[in-house]
Amino acid sequence: MSEIPREELSATLAARQELGPDYESAPVDSLAERVEQVVKARVAAQQLAAPPAPVPVSAPPMTLSPGQRVAVAAISLGVAIPCLAIAGDVAGVTGVVVTWAGIAAVNVAAAISPGRGRR
């Protein structure tokens, strides 16, 4: 049932012409149903023959090595000096507290990142 023979198509078209406009839809509907069956059979065969879709693999979480964690701490403290000077001048004690909270948050996030303790 993988193909519709040409004779069947020719017979359907001839029957359509002989029956006239009153019965025109019957042979066409029959042919359309036959075409649908052939298409379904081909799709099913392709699905059986096709290899299964690959399963997406998620990337491992980004990890920081111990050396990278030390670098984050050193850089954040180096950036802290000018930031604290500017925050203290512009916003006073509130600016200094907010700046230290930001520095602490960066270092805590680096310390608890996934893969802690791995080399």
In the chain, the number of structural domains is 2
- Based on the fold, state whether residues 78 and 43 are members of the same structural domain: no
Its domain, for residue 35, covers 6-49
pLDDT for res 109: 85
What is the rounded CA–CA span in Å between residue 13 and residue 107?
A: 80
Domain assignment of residue 101, yes or no: yes
Domain assignment of residue 57, yes or no: no
Model confidence pLDDT, tens digit, residues 50-79: 777 777 777 666 777 888 888 888 999 899
Domain assignment of residue 118, yes or no: no
Q: Bigger pLDDT: 101 or 10? A: 101
- Based on the fold, state whether residues 38 and 71 are members of the same structural domain: no
What is the rounded CA–CA span in Å between residue 16 and residue 10?
A: 10
Domain assignment of residue 27, yes or no: yes
Terminal C-alpha separation, the chain = 61
- Based on the fold, state whether residues 73 and 41 are members of the same structural domain: no
- Based on the fold, state whether residues 42 and 77 are members of the same structural domain: no
Q: What's the predicted TM-score (pTM) here?
A: 0.43
